[in-house]
Amino acid sequence: MSKAFIAGTGMTAFGTHPRRSGRDMFAEAGLAALEDAGLESEEIDEVFYGNFIGTVSENQGHQGPLVAEAVGTTAPARRVESACASSGLAIRDAVRAVRSGEADVVVAGGMERMSNMGTAGATDGLARAADDLFEVQSGVTFPAAYALMARAYFDTFGGDREDLAHVAVKNHDHALVNDHAHLQEEIAVDDVLDAPEIATPLGLYDACPISDGAAAIVLLSPSYAAERGLDTGVAITGSGHGGDTMALQDRRSLAKTPATREAANEAYTDAGIDPTDIGLVEVHDCFTIAEVLALEGLGMYGYGEALGAARRGETRRGGELPVNLSGGLKAKGHPVGATGAAQIAAVQTLLNGTHPRSDAVDDDVTVGLAHNAGGTVASASVHVLEVMA
């Protein structure tokens, strides 16, 4: 399968921007990605845009053409919605467009603005990523859904809140040098354990913040890149998408995420690699337990074995497999529709040496992975990125 080159990346600072419109934030990220790629808006063939709840939070549907306009084109554009996996899957669609030969230059990314909804409004909005009839009507909030999985995980494999706290501490530490991160704040295990509870066994510091922001990448076909002599340092060489039942109650196991496993296997096969080739990972850690579930789903660890990884230092900077060097969703922030694109931008810049945490990436690392999950992992996208020789 042909590659899709990442020619440029761009993102806004993630944080609380209640008075910035989505169109403005995506314009900032998309135009920065074009500038990074050395391309003009008129060269864009197609725009793929991830967004979860803009129809409600910004009173604006049909956002595809709106954000295409914002980056200076009336090229065909569509919005991709898959809850928190919206832009991971927008990028997957973009990769397929480039690989099929239908497009040479694609802008793909996403945006979310939620802080203007307030905490109650955002909590209500995020709950829409769960099954309305069988979960929301029974009091399940989004943190509650992950809490149900966390308790099921502890019951199945053992472990406790303190093990999870190390994930939060690690990701906060990673974000300290990332000026685009929502939270640049060092925390200790006790801070996590002492934080107010949201949904037991998860507390405030087990959760990512409610963030606003946008991220975008520019993808190129190999022929176009060669023709124009453009940077082809890093390419997406594998892409996968897995699915599962919407409601947790219909899953065979509440302590595993098979959609991640399916997406990963598809991406590994596509890229012709296996998990041992991968030297750095950005995974979907909307809650601390989510990072654990992701690493096991990806086959980086056996089931029940990833819980202690952060505590043992294996997934910290300087460890064998650095995970979420950007700070992850936990500290970098989680503007839902922008997250998948931001992860890919992070992996690309970590691999090419332009990320503020690139010094934590060993010189021999040439393969990275980005994992983006929707809902309680009823959707998952996985992308493999490789440095091109």
Q: Which residues bind other proteins (CB under 8 A)?
A: 119-120, 123-124, 127, 132-141, 143-144, 147-149, 151-152, 155, 196-202, 245, 247-250, 254
CA dist., res. 338 & res. 342, Å (int): 6
Burial 254-286 (b: 16+ CB within 10 A, else e): bbbbbbbbbbbbbbbebbebebeebbbbbbbbb
Sheet strand arrangement including 213-220: 77-80, 46-50, 105-112, 213-220, 4-11, 234-243, 379-387, 367-374, 280-282
Q: How far is the CB of 364 from other proteins (least distance, A)?
A: 42
* Rounded distance between C-alpha atoms, residue 32 and residue 34, angstroms: 5
Does the annotation count 334 as an active-site position? yes
**281 Rama sector, left if φ>0, alpha if ψ -120 to 50, beta otherwise:** beta
Q: Which is nearer to other proteins, 7 or 199 (CB)?
A: 199
In 3-state terms, what secondary structure has residue 102? Answer: coil
CB of 242 to other proteins, least distance (A): 15
CB of 249 to other proteins, least distance (A): 4
Residue number with CB closer to other proteins (5 or 153): 153
Least separation in angstroms between residue 131's CB and other proteins is 8
Taking the least distance from each CB to other proteins, the nearer of 65 and 258 is 258
Instruction: Supply 218's token pair.
Output: 């520019």
Specify whether 208 is catalytic. Answer: no
Shortest CB 90 distance to other proteins, Å: 25
Burial of 318 (0-12, 13-18, 19+ CB in 10 A): exposed
Give whichever of 53 and 215 is closer to other proteins, judged by the CB atom. 53
Cα(293)–Cα(309) distance, integer angstroms: 12
- For residues 290 and 375, the answer to whether their CB atoms sit within 8 Å is no
- When the beta carbons of 130 and 361 are compared against other proteins, the nearer one is 130
Among residues 22 and 374, whose Cβ is nearest to other proteins? 374
CB 131 within 8 A of CB 246: yes
Q: Is the peptide bond before 201 cis (omega within 30 degrees of 0)?
A: yes
Question: For residues 132 and 362, which CB has a smaller minimum distance to other proteins in the complex?
Answer: 132
Tokens of 58: 């910004």
Q: Phi and psi for 355 in degrees, rounded to 5?
A: -85, 145
- CB of residue 193 to other proteins, shortest distance in Å: 15
- The least CB distance from residue 31 to other proteins, in Å, is 37
For residue 217 the two structure tokens come to 């990448």
Output the smallest distance, CB 271 to other proteins, in A.
30
Torsion angle of the four alpha carbons 28, 39, 223, 277, in this order, in degrees rounded to the nearest 10? -40
Contact criterion met (CB below 8 Å) for 141 and 157: no
* Catalytic one of 17, 84, 166, 371: 84
Select from 251, 230, 206 the least CA-distant residue to 6: 230
Task: Specify the DSSP element, H or E, that contains 213.
Answer: strand 213-220
Options 166, 174, 180, 334, the catalytic residue: 334
Residue 63 tokens read as 């956002």
Integer Cα distance of 135 and 156 in angstroms = 22
Cβ closer to other proteins: 123 or 366? 123
Q: Report, as residue numbers or ranges, the catalytic residues.
A: 84, 334
